[in-house]
Structure 1
Amino acid sequence: MHDQYVLLRLAFLLATVTLATATLSAQSRQQPALGHRSAKILTVNGLTFKDLNQNGQLDKYEDWRLPTDERSRDLLTRMSLEQKVGFMLISDSRLKNEPSMFNPGAQRSNEPITADFSEDDVVQPNNMFTRKPLATPVMNVAGTTKGVTQFHLRHFILRANVSARTTAEWANKLQALCESQPLGIPAIITSNPRNHVTATAAMGTSVGKTAFSNWPGELGLSAMRDLKLVREFADIARQEWVAVGLRKGYMYMADIATEPRWQRVDGTFGENADWAGQVMTEVVLGFQGPKLGPASVALTTKHFPGGGATKNGHDPHFEFGKQEVFPGSMFKNNLIPFRAAIKAGTSSIMPYYSMPVGTKYEEVAYAYNKGILQDLLRKELGFTGIINSDTGPIDMMPWGVESLSLTERYKKSLEAGVNLYSGNANPVKLLEAVKSDQGLVTLVDDSVLRLLREKFDLGLFENPYVDEEAAERIAGNAKFRERAEVALRKSIVLLRNDTKILPLKARTKVYFETYQKRYGAPASGPGIVFSGQDRSYPVEFVSTPEAADVILVWLTPSIQPLFLSDGSPLELSLSKCAVDVTYLNQLMAKKPTILAINYTSPWVIDEVYNDKTKGTIPGILATFGTTPDALLDIVTGKFKPTGKMPFTTPISEAAAKQQKEDVPGYREGAAYPLFKYDEGLSY
């Protein structure tokens, strides 16, 4: 009896200490700033809270002193099944007067670009897998008011490229609309990358240059070989995103560039999985911090378990590219950057459209693949965050499950582990699936809890609003641009410097031509001649190659654009990538030439650089999204080159075709490369 009393007494004391600790912890949390429009403010013991459901009392989910999990579970009990299902969709937003995939023919006018808060009907998607070619995937999207009020959407993708102030104004209007709804649940706004100089910006992959600071492309960040500067980039970009109300990024790609013909190589950090993992770590920590908070941008790392080993380079946006193959048995190599992202705390992971072939896993797209998402991602890799589908696996790219109905596809993908469905604004079919099988309700609740936790951790329930004037001051400010300028220069790689032609001596006469043609258009004729009159350089720019001592050509080839794919063979030779090889060879034969090449893919350059022409091309540089000023600072010696190649380039088209899709170029053998991974010179 005495022993029982002692045990009970100890249990009571432990409970008392635990309660006291929890109370002290709650009381020690500082009063956050509350941003509100329609919600009333409650005052409790001198502290203030938002009455989001406007019932006149402080509910657990409104109490910022409580742990995220407790708040999330309380709110979950207040949500209807319809609200939960709508919460699991993330749809593209629509802006008026902005040309887009929804309104490609729109003309810009003097009328400002604003959010579309119409009650428009849902725009249905094209069946991408039966329409080839398709210029741009069309997502399922609704007018914003209808999406929020009728479909219960609280996740949106912003793809428009507008000013910082316009973005901030739009974000605030959206949050005010959400706050006015019965539970006051805020929205989270997502975007693709917005901070990079890129030649391949496209709807659904990268917004490209914006009002934010402009840094090298992802390959360029990798080529810098400077992890500290990568972290600084991510931290600066984070500040710009938060300032305008963008709190989630569909980025970055942890895929490995093992298949040189894949059209998404330029979104990766290169072909070395270990290095890509190190870069990914810095990116996640720079955007999110050690853990999500009110100053974080939550990241969605993609495309699990890696999409770079796609058969013959074709992308799984299309049926002819749906197979991912592993002839080199290097499936596990793909996982290395994802392991790094998970360890760094990435908030979300996006599976790709591909279906694995020749592995132990079911041959269905990764969004339907329980072995990939549950056994591998959840159990083996220990990921506890959100699994966010890529855009359209239900309606457009249901590889391996084409015979299933829409409701059956939702059921299979839910059971596989998807928590958030991208590219769909209409919850009808998902709701049908859940109502047809009560066992799915548990999976829906699990998904909603994960999504709610992210919102609570980001502080959106306390203040989802931004200062519109501050957004203009912060985005792309002089200090941020200055650091980006350093990165643009550090990303450039010097590959050849025969006869020590670089750096160019002062007063050298230079003919500088930038050559970039649109894929599919006539590639003949010269590019644009650089005059250099807008700033001072130590060299003299001339208007003809005949008047020059040295020719500088900056070449930007162009592979077949992703969304114009038609299933024809993908080739990397310059003549197949919008380059007039005859013109280029004639130009470079006139004077000693420095050839700079902007690499979005591992180009094959043997048509212009071979045993016959090497004598006339003593200098070669690689760029990965940079500016003329940055290139000229390298060429003239104002900035010494330090960059290293993020991938191997094949010596010939035949080499590119014969390589194994899952094997990085540095492991393809001595006969494979022209320029090697990690190659790079300096002065």
Structure 2
Amino acid sequence: MIIKSLILAVFICLTQQVSSQPKSSGKQPVLGVRSVKILEMSGLKFKDLNRNGQLDKYEDWRLSAQERSRDLLTKMSLEQKVGFMLISTTRMKNDQSFGPAASREPITSDFNEEDLVASQNMFTRKPLPAPIMNAAGTTKAVTQYHLRHFILRANVSARTTAEWANKLQALCEGDGLGIPAIVASNPRNHITAAAAIGTSVGQTVFSAWPGELGLSAMRDLKLVREFADIARQEWAAVGLRKGYMYMADLATEPRWQRIEGTFGENAQWAGQMITEIVYGFQGTTLGPGSVAMTTKHFPGGGSGQGGQDPHFDWGKKEVFPGGKFANNLIPFKAAIKAGTSAIMPYYSLPADTKYEPIAYAYNRAVIHDLLRTELGFSGIINSDTGPIEMMPWGAENLSIQERYKRTLEAGVNLYSGTADPANLLATVKSGMVDTKLIDDSVLRLLMEKFNLGLFENPYVDEDAAERLVGNAQFRARADLAHRKSIVLLRNEAEMLPLKPKTKVYFDVNAAKAGGTATQATSYTINDGKYPITFVATPDEADVIVLWLKPSAKSLFASDGSPIYLSLSKNSIDVAYVNSLTAKKPTILAINYSNPWVIDEIYPKATNTTAKGVLATFGTTPDALLDIVTGKFSPTGKMPFTTPISEAAVQQQKEDVPGYEEGAGYALFHYEEGLTFKIRK
């Protein structure tokens, strides 16, 4: 056991150091090889990736990433370049992402060789203007379509992911110029109420931290950096080297269904959070231990009209009634300064600004003039999934080739959502676009791979990955974060922390199926962890602890109907809650994935006995109970303002943060949070 711990400690140390090693240091790097030969020159070793028996510049790790990229660019065919500009979902064997669950066999580290063709828009459920391929069989994607960028959606063990990643890299090494793959993913390190394809993988074998709002609520930038560095180590260990994250969008429109993935409503603070995230995942520069970030969704997607989302036609307009367009740019400026590798434009179109009302991926004034020229971003512009075929807002009347032309000229470098390069290739071959745009994109994409050290060693140690991911040391730091993320909002008569020997009825999640009450779902037995006694019914209790987890309609179930934030509209049995709070002194804990309106239960008429209110943002029962029983003093602060009523929600301005909405808007204020002294 001691030997295993020492091995793990050494592995962690090496992983932490590698991202800061200088590129082209002249020192022999470790070369990962499966099929190509090694060239030896002057005592140094190089990979003969194109199998020509000589050392090409792109194979020479002593040269700069730019010099190597330019050399490789000259060797790539047009077909290879175009395939290199697509990033598509890739599936392990038996993984049915984006498709019907046809197989009940467990997901394995082998390849899924079946193409997955969508016949309709997976978001709007309308026929597509042309067939698209959401995913291709892995071997076909690599060897026929020349894809080298992939998105992994599967949620499997660390070993399975590492084994699959190594098989993918071996396939790439044996094909053509031997260009390695880069595998991206949505977040995998958070407890979230709304995990879905395209937003978050949800809870995995990786260390489980609070949701993004919870990280923000900690008000601890040092621990945020530590989180990002730990997640980086876990990702890199299994072969995930690109993150489709994090969101620099602001939570100014409280109805937006993606607020849970933001860092709150304050632009300056979100910028500080994004800075720590980028440095934690990438280091000060991209290196062999880095995970490249894709900051999204430029120029900010948090002010959709009526809170609707632009995955759908009814949510395509982003509005700025408060004139706050520039406020949205603040976190992106921070990401650019920190060196984020890529930025993703959103599907929205600006409805009331100086910019043309066309989706941001098509909007040259926003992507080229603002992002590239004015803000100075030199990295990769990565489209969101499907702006060509599925969400071409403002460009619906253009043909597929005209859409590619328009987005290329706007500045898109990497297209997400299709595995088939035929339409993009046809656009280029037709002469509609300057091929310099293609070369510029491929050059940026190649430089990312060279800087990440993938050409030298894209392979991972499967045994080490299994030991590292989710290890006890990482879990302990995540546990601290969970406790720091909880916000104490009200504590009447100093009810908290609960006194020893208090009899507690702990009801986790008051969303009652069919409106009927059920027994508590957690903690009727103490096991000696807490100085209180758990009881099975409210009547036996001295105090009720009620943890509410409102559940809105999922993002991809949207139908364009108005969005409400009242608890009764979001799966909470208000009558049941009020029956409990009228019966016994009650501590309300509310999981805020949106700024819920809680006026139906608090404050209520004089019959309420709610004595305390806590806010959680994706955490564990243990963390909540540690606060309630005084094992840990609360220090969290609210990452957004919560509206006092549904009427306040409907009257607020989509782009204005809650703390600027004026008197009478807020129940709980931005940055509000109490504490208490631990009882002795």
TM-score (norm 1): 0.93
Does 1:658 find its partner at 2:655? Answer: no
Match of 1:540 among 514, 533, 538: 533
Q: How far 1:101 moved relative to its partner?
A: 2.1
Match of 1:463 among 441, 452, 457: 457
User: Which residue number in structure 2 is paired with residue 4 of structure 1?
Assistant: none
User: Which residue number in structure 1 is paired with residue 496 of structure 2?
Assistant: 502
Asked whether the 8 Å contact 2:405–2:432 carries over to 1, the reply is no
Match of 2:251 among 235, 257, 264: 257
- Residue 394 and residue 28 in structure 1: after superposition, are their counterparts in 2 closer, same or farther (change >3 A)? closer
Q: How far 1:98 moved relative to its partner?
A: 3.2
Aligned counterparts of 1:27 and 1:220: Cα–Cα separation in 2: 39
User: Which residue number in structure 2 is paired with residue 366 of structure 1?
Assistant: 360
Superposed CA deviations along residues 527-575 of structure 1, whole A, max 9, x for unmatched, are 5253134552110000011100000000000111000000111110000
Superposed CA deviations along residues 198-248 of structure 1, whole A, max 9, x for unmatched, are 111111100111111000000000000000000000000000000000000
User: Which residue number in structure 1 is paired with residue 151 of structure 2?
Assistant: 157
Asked whether the 8 Å contact 2:286–2:452 carries over to 1, the reply is yes
Match of 2:262 among 251, 262, 268: 268
Output the amino acid matched with 1:116.
F
Match of 2:62 among 47, 65, 73: 65
- Residue 667 and residue 34 in structure 1: after superposition, are their counterparts in 2 closer, same or farther (change >3 A)? same
User: Which residue number in structure 1 is paired with residue 14 of structure 2?
Assistant: none
- Residue 272 and residue 142 in structure 1: after superposition, are their counterparts in 2 closer, same or farther (change >3 A)? same
Aligned counterparts of 2:601 and 2:25: Cα–Cα separation in 1: 68
Does 1:39 find its partner at 2:36? Answer: yes
Give the match's secondary structure for 2:120.
Answer: coil
Match of 1:558 among 548, 551, 576: 551
Match of 2:302 among 287, 299, 308: 308
Does 1:283 find its partner at 2:280? Answer: no
User: Which residue number in structure 2 is paired with residue 324 of structure 1?
Assistant: 318
Match of 1:102 among 84, 99, 103: 99
Output the amino acid matched with 1:224.
M
Give the match's secondary structure for 1:480.
Answer: helix
Output the amino acid matched with 2:210.
P
- Residue 534 and residue 406 in structure 1: after superposition, are their counterparts in 2 closer, same or farther (change >3 A)? farther
Superposed CA deviations along residues 414-449 of structure 1, whole A, max 9, x for unmatched, are 000000000110000000111112643110000000
Q: How far 1:125 moved relative to its partner?
A: 5.4
Does 1:668 find its partner at 2:665? Answer: no
Superposed CA deviations along residues 615-664 of structure 1, whole A, max 9, x for unmatched, are 51110000001000000000000000000000000000110010000000
User: Which residue number in structure 2 is paired with residue 524 of structure 1?
Assistant: 516
Match of 2:407 among 413, 418, 422: 413
TM-score (norm 2): 0.94
- Residue 674 and residue 460 in structure 1: after superposition, are their counterparts in 2 closer, same or farther (change >3 A)? same
Q: How does 1:224-263 map to 2 (within 5 A)?
A: 224-263=218-257
Aligned counterparts of 2:339 and 2:436: Cα–Cα separation in 1: 25
Aligned pair count?
652
Aligned counterparts of 1:515 and 1:363: Cα–Cα separation in 2: 42
Aligned counterparts of 2:587 and 2:83: Cα–Cα separation in 1: 56
User: Which residue number in structure 2 is paired with residue 180 of structure 1?
Assistant: 174
Give the match's secondary structure for 2:240.
Answer: coil
- Residue 535 and residue 97 in structure 1: after superposition, are their counterparts in 2 closer, same or farther (change >3 A)? farther
Aligned counterparts of 2:478 and 2:417: Cα–Cα separation in 1: 32
Give the match's secondary structure for 1:49.
Answer: strand
What stretches of structure 1 of length at least 5 have no aligned partner? 1-24
Does 1:49 find its partner at 2:41? Answer: no
Give the match's secondary structure for 2:134.
Answer: coil
Output the amino acid matched with 1:44.
M
Q: How far 1:133 moved relative to its partner?
A: 12
Q: How far 1:29 moved relative to its partner?
A: 1.6
- Residue 393 and residue 26 in structure 1: after superposition, are their counterparts in 2 closer, same or farther (change >3 A)? closer
Match of 2:573 among 570, 580, 586: 580
Q: CA RMSD in A?
A: 1.8
Aligned counterparts of 2:132 and 2:23: Cα–Cα separation in 1: 47
Superposed CA deviations along residues 186-205 of structure 1, whole A, max 9, x for unmatched, are 00000000000111111110
- Residue 575 and residue 441 in structure 1: after superposition, are their counterparts in 2 closer, same or farther (change >3 A)? same
Does 1:202 find its partner at 2:196? Answer: yes
Asked whether the 8 Å contact 1:125–1:140 carries over to 2, the reply is no
Aligned counterparts of 1:225 and 1:562: Cα–Cα separation in 2: 28
Superposed CA deviations along residues 155-205 of structure 1, whole A, max 9, x for unmatched, are 000011000000000000000000000100000000000000111111110
Asked whether the 8 Å contact 1:128–1:397 carries over to 2, the reply is no
Asked whether the 8 Å contact 1:133–1:566 carries over to 2, the reply is no
User: Which residue number in structure 1 is paired with residue 474 of structure 2?
Assistant: 480
Asked whether the 8 Å contact 1:34–1:462 carries over to 2, the reply is yes
Aligned counterparts of 1:443 and 1:138: Cα–Cα separation in 2: 23
User: Which residue number in structure 1 is paired with residue 589 of structure 2?
Assistant: 596
- Residue 121 and residue 197 in structure 1: after superposition, are their counterparts in 2 closer, same or farther (change >3 A)? closer
Asked whether the 8 Å contact 1:524–1:579 carries over to 2, the reply is no
Aligned counterparts of 1:424 and 1:115: Cα–Cα separation in 2: 21
Aligned counterparts of 2:69 and 2:467: Cα–Cα separation in 1: 35
Output the amino acid matched with 2:305.
K
Output the amino acid matched with 2:222.
K
Does 1:388 find its partner at 2:382? Answer: yes
Superposed CA deviations along residues 427-476 of structure 1, whole A, max 9, x for unmatched, are 00000111112643110000000000000000000000000000000000
Output the amino acid matched with 1:65.
R
User: Which residue number in structure 1 is paired with residue 118 of structure 2?
Assistant: 124
What stretches of structure 2 of length at least 5 have no aligned partner? 1-21
Match of 1:215 among 206, 209, 212: 209
Q: How far 1:614 moved relative to its partner?
A: 7.6
Asked whether the 8 Å contact 2:298–2:343 carries over to 1, the reply is yes
Aligned counterparts of 1:342 and 1:382: Cα–Cα separation in 2: 8
Give the match's secondary structure for 1:377.
Answer: helix
Superposed CA deviations along residues 102-157 of structure 1, whole A, max 9, x for unmatched, are 233542x4x55233242x345235235752799xx996110000100000000000
- Residue 664 and residue 125 in structure 1: after superposition, are their counterparts in 2 closer, same or farther (change >3 A)? farther
Aligned counterparts of 1:342 and 1:659: Cα–Cα separation in 2: 30
Output the amino acid matched with 1:619.
G
Aligned counterparts of 1:115 and 1:507: Cα–Cα separation in 2: 54
Aligned counterparts of 1:375 and 1:662: Cα–Cα separation in 2: 22
Give the match's secondary structure for 2:135.
Answer: coil
Aligned counterparts of 2:538 and 2:133: Cα–Cα separation in 1: 48
Aligned counterparts of 1:28 and 1:131: Cα–Cα separation in 2: 52
Asked whether the 8 Å contact 1:122–1:426 carries over to 2, the reply is no
User: Which residue number in structure 1 is paired with residue 441 of structure 2?
Assistant: 447
Asked whether the 8 Å contact 1:97–1:114 carries over to 2, the reply is no
Aligned counterparts of 1:425 and 1:256: Cα–Cα separation in 2: 31
Aligned counterparts of 1:611 and 1:129: Cα–Cα separation in 2: 39
User: Which residue number in structure 2 is paired with residue 88 of structure 1?
Assistant: 85
Aligned counterparts of 2:316 and 2:58: Cα–Cα separation in 1: 43
Aligned counterparts of 2:574 and 2:403: Cα–Cα separation in 1: 48
Aligned counterparts of 2:350 and 2:24: Cα–Cα separation in 1: 51
Q: How far 1:97 moved relative to its partner?
A: 2.5
Asked whether the 8 Å contact 1:122–1:425 carries over to 2, the reply is no
- Residue 152 and residue 27 in structure 1: after superposition, are their counterparts in 2 closer, same or farther (change >3 A)? closer
